[in-house]
Amino acid sequence: MFELLPILIFFFFILFIFNPIFWLIFFPIFIIAFFYFLSFELLLFAIFNLIVVPQQLWHMFKNPILRKNHALEHATINVLEERYGKLPTTGGLADLKGFHIFTREPMLTPEVVLDAAQEGLVRLQRGEKELAIHERCGTSITITNLILSIIFLLILFFGGMFDFWHVVIMLAIAFAISKPLGKLAQKYITTDPDVRNLMITGIFLSPFTKYFGIPLPAGPIRYFVETKQIPRAERIQ
C-alpha cells in the first residue's frame, strides 16, 4: 500500500500548485488516509511479528550448537572491534556448522578473522562470558519489533484508535526498553557462552555474491568459520 503514497503525494502537490483551495479541502482527507494505511500496515506487521518472532527465539533456544556458534560469532566480532575499533560494516550469522562473518573492511583478511575467532573461543572457554553479547546483534532488532507489535495491539485494543502521537509514544517506549531486553534475550535465549565442547576447524572465503547463480564481485566479503563439537572425553574442564 505504501507504494501508492509517493503517487498520492505528487498528485496533491500538483493540485496545491494549481488550486490551493482544492488542496486545503482534501488535505485533512489525505492525513486521515495516510494514518489509515499506516495503521493497516502496522496491524499486519504486528500480527506477523507476534507469530514469527517467538518461533525464531524458540528455534535459537532449542538448538544448543546454534547458540554456541552464535556466542562465538559475537566473541569474534568483539575481539576484532577491540583491535580495530567499531566496525559498522561487519556483521555475522550463525548456523549449526559454524558462523559467517560479513565485512567490507579491507584489513579483515581470512588470517585476521581466524585469529580473532580462535582468541574469542579461548577467552569464552576461560570464562569471559560478556564476549558472547554484542550490541548490534539482530536479537535486539527482533525484540524491538516484538515490543512495537505488542504496544501497537495494546493501543488498538484499549484505545480503539491510532494517531501520530501514538506512533511517537510507541517508538519511544520500544527503543528505550529494547536494548536491555535485547541483551537479556541474547544472554538467556540466543547465545550460550559455554563453548568448552567447541573447536574451530577452518575458515573459508566466499568473496562473491551470487545473483541467479551467477557470481558477481558485489557486496561484502563473506567468511565462514567452521566449528565442530569435541568428543566428551577431550573437552576442556
Q: What is the pTM of this model?
A: 0.74
Using one digit for the tens of pLDDT, what is the confidence trace for 80-128?
A: 999 999 999 999 999 999 999 999 998 999 999 999 999 999 999 999 9
Q: CB of 126 within 8 A of CB of 237?
A: no
Bridge-based pairing of strands 214-216 and 209-211 is antiparallel
Give the Å distances, CA to CA, from 155 to 148, 162, 233.
11, 7, 55
If one compares 192 and 54, the residue with the highest pLDDT of the two is: 192
* Residues linked to residue 91 through DSSP beta bridges, in sequence order: 102
Give the Å distances, CA to CA, from 71 to 41, 76, 207, 225.
34, 9, 24, 13
- Domains of the chain (ranges, CATH numbers): 2-58+137-190 (no CATH), 63-133+192-234 (3.30.980)
Please state, in angstroms and rounded to a whole number, the distance separating the CA atoms of residues 163 and 166: 5
If one compares 8 and 146, the residue with the highest pLDDT of the two is: 146
Whether 23 shows a pLDDT value over 70: the answer reads no
Please state, in angstroms and rounded to a whole number, the distance separating the CA atoms of residues 113 and 97: 17
Residue 80 burial (CB count, 10 A): 24
- Mean of pLDDT over the chain: 80
Whether 214 shows a pLDDT value over 90: the answer reads no
What stretches of 85-137 show up as alpha helix (H) in DSSP?
110-125
Record the cell numbers describing residue 172, joined without a space.
519511544
- CB neighbours of 68 closer than 8 A, spacing ≥ 6? 191, 192, 194, 195, 197, 198, 227
Please state, in angstroms and rounded to a whole number, the distance separating the CA atoms of residues 30 and 61: 45
